[in-house]
Amino acid sequence: MSKLGDLGARLYRGEVGYDFVGKRFIWYGVSILITITAIAALAVQGLNMGIEFKGGAVFTTPKTAVSEPKAREFAEEASGHDAIVQELGTGGLRIQISGVDTDAATDVKKKLAADLKVDEAGINADLVGPSWGEQIANKAWTGLGIFMVLVVVYLAIAFEWRMAVAALIALIHDLTITVGIYSLVGFEVTPGTVIGLLTILGYSLYDTVVVFDGLKEGSKDITKQTRFTYSEIANRSINGTLVRSINTTVVALLPVAALLFIGGGLLDAGMLNDISLSLFVGLAAGAYSSIFIATPLVVDLKEREPAMKALKKRVLAKRASAAAKGESADGEDTVVDEPQVVAQGRQPGRRR
């Protein structure tokens, strides 16, 4: 068995563990800092919305000898607006100009034909009106809202409302970070971006539900025992799925990274950036939030209950009594990242 596989097995059995829950305020601080940065970027720079959302025109030209930079210059002179130019495999160009209406598009098409030295009839023009773009944006927000509501309802029924609230906060956290990155790098937001966002939210939710399922199973009849507190059982649930989360995240990120850095970067296939950036950032943020945000939030909410407070007092009292007698307390584990036991003195696991 590999070292990573052996570590995963030991984490699952509770023989070793990292104190994720005990250090949750560190993770909260990191997330708040990143989120504030993302919100500030959105407030200052905003998003570079594609023509599907704000309206405009896309001109597809036949083969031309004019370079992309020169074609961009011609397009901006002809329209008076910023233009995005991409070279096609046919040798033609895809020229995207925002803010161009139907009447102006005809004049722009004539000027482009003259400047690019191509037949005007060979230039294909697709127009997107501002009202249609607004409808697309509203539908995107509606779809996102419905997704969030369904997530909360499902988790509240399948688990409990505290887990539903924690998962919703984690999803908003992932969404805010991803959108903030789009604002910082200036990538265009298109329907492909929305698809990518919905995809990564689903992935983040899957990772979170795996941990929640382990937590639900491990906390059955929790008040009938005095070995572990709720936070310790939650910490064990995270550790039990840690290697699995790392493996699935790395495997998912590799092809997405190829799309983003090779397809969108080296090969200059700019259209791949629409979805690949949202997938790359969202997958990483989702893996982070499922481990460092969602479950610790559940612990904070759950341990406010009188029953959990009473359980914690009983567990600590039992351990104090055992320590006074020189006995070994149940549930003591070795911690692999520092020479102290985790989560209120011990993490649930096997006795040594």
Let me know whether 254 and 107 are in one domain: no
Six-digit token pair at 336? Answer: 């692999």
pLDDT at position 9 is 61
User: How many distinct structural domains can be found in the chain?
Assistant: 2
pLDDT at position 352 is 37
Q: Residue 171: which of 153, 147, 189, 190 has the closest Cα? A: 147
Let me know whether 199 and 264 are in one domain: yes
Q: Residue 194: which of 273, 267, 250, 141 has the closest Cα? A: 141
pLDDT at position 105 is 82
For the segment 241-298, what is each residue's pLDDT rounded down to a tens digit?
887 888 888 888 888 888 777 765 555 555 566 778 888 888 888 889 988 999 999 9
Confidence band of 210 (pLDDT split at 50, 70, 90): confident
pLDDT at position 339 is 34
Please check whether residue 344 lies inside any domain of the structure.
no
Long-range contacts of 267-274 (CB under 8 A, 24+ apart): 268/86, 268/87, 270/84, 270/86, 271/86, 271/192, 273/187, 273/188, 274/50, 274/187, 274/188, 274/189, 274/190, 274/192, 274/193, 274/196
For the segment 99-124, what is each residue's pLDDT rounded down to a tens digit?
777 778 888 888 888 888 888 888 88
Mean pLDDT of 55-71: 84
Please report, as a single letter, which amino acid is at residue 197.
L
Cβ-in-10-Å burial (0-12, 13-18, 19+) of 171 comes to: buried
Please check whether residue 185 lies inside any domain of the structure.
yes
Over 90: is that where the pLDDT of 18 sits?
no
pLDDT at position 345 is 40
Percent of the chain with pLDDT over 90: 13
Over 90: is that where the pLDDT of 92 sits?
no
Let me know whether 36 and 94 are in one domain: no
Confidence band of 84 (pLDDT split at 50, 70, 90): confident
Over 50: is that where the pLDDT of 96 sits?
yes
Let me know whether 115 and 144 are in one domain: no
User: Which range, of 58-72, 80-94, 128-142, 177-191, averages the lowest pLDDT?
Assistant: 128-142
Let me know whether 239 and 155 are in one domain: yes
Hey, which residues does 125 pair with through a beta bridge?
Answer: 59
Please check whether residue 350 lies inside any domain of the structure.
no
Query: Which of 98, 128, 158 is the last residue in one of the domains?
Result: 128
The CATH number for 83's domain is 3.30.70.3400
Let me know whether 171 and 207 are in one domain: yes
Q: Residue 196: which of 106, 276, 76 has the closest Cα? A: 276
Tell me what the pLDDT averaged over the chain comes to. Answer: 80
Q: Residue 259: which of 283, 275, 248 has the closest Cα? A: 275
In residues, how long is the chain?
352
pLDDT at position 30 is 93
Let me know whether 182 and 281 are in one domain: yes
pLDDT at position 8 is 56
Over 60: is that where the pLDDT of 342 sits?
no
Let me know whether 176 and 245 are in one domain: yes
Please check whether residue 343 lies inside any domain of the structure.
no
Task: Measure Cα distances from 28 to 34, 169, 187, 295 in Å.
Answer: 10, 12, 28, 12
Over 80: is that where the pLDDT of 134 sits?
no
pLDDT at position 298 is 93
pLDDT at position 346 is 42
Residue 189 CA to residue 45 CA, distance in Å, equals 13
Q: Are the beta carbons of 86 and 93 closer than 8 angstroms? A: yes
Mean pLDDT of 219-233: 88
Q: Are the beta carbons of 180 and 282 closer than 8 angstroms? A: no
Residue 238 CA to residue 8 CA, distance in Å, equals 11
Residue 78 CA to residue 87 CA, distance in Å, equals 19
Q: Residue 178: which of 260, 282, 290 has the closest Cα? A: 282
Please check whether residue 265 lies inside any domain of the structure.
yes
pLDDT at position 293 is 92
Six-digit token pair at 322? Answer: 């055992």
pLDDT at position 350 is 41
Let me know whether 216 and 145 are in one domain: yes
Over 50: is that where the pLDDT of 334 sits?
no
Treating both helix axes as pointing N-terminal to C-terminal, what angle do 230-257 and 3-13 enclose, rounded to 10 degrees?
Answer: 150
Mean pLDDT of 83-103: 78
Q: What is the DSSP letter of 1?
A: -
pLDDT at position 6 is 64
Hey, which residues does 49 pair with through a beta bridge?
Answer: 189
Residue 273 belongs to what domain range?
Answer: 3-48+133-335
pLDDT at position 328 is 59
Let me know whether 222 and 207 are in one domain: yes
The CATH number for 43's domain is 1.20.1640.10
For the segment 66-80, what is each residue's pLDDT rounded down to a tens digit?
888 888 888 888 888
Neighbours of 205 (CB within 10 A): 23
Let me know whether 70 and 168 are in one domain: no
pLDDT at position 299 is 93
Let me know whether 103 and 148 are in one domain: no
Q: What is the DSSP letter of 62?
A: -
Percent of the chain with pLDDT over 70: 82
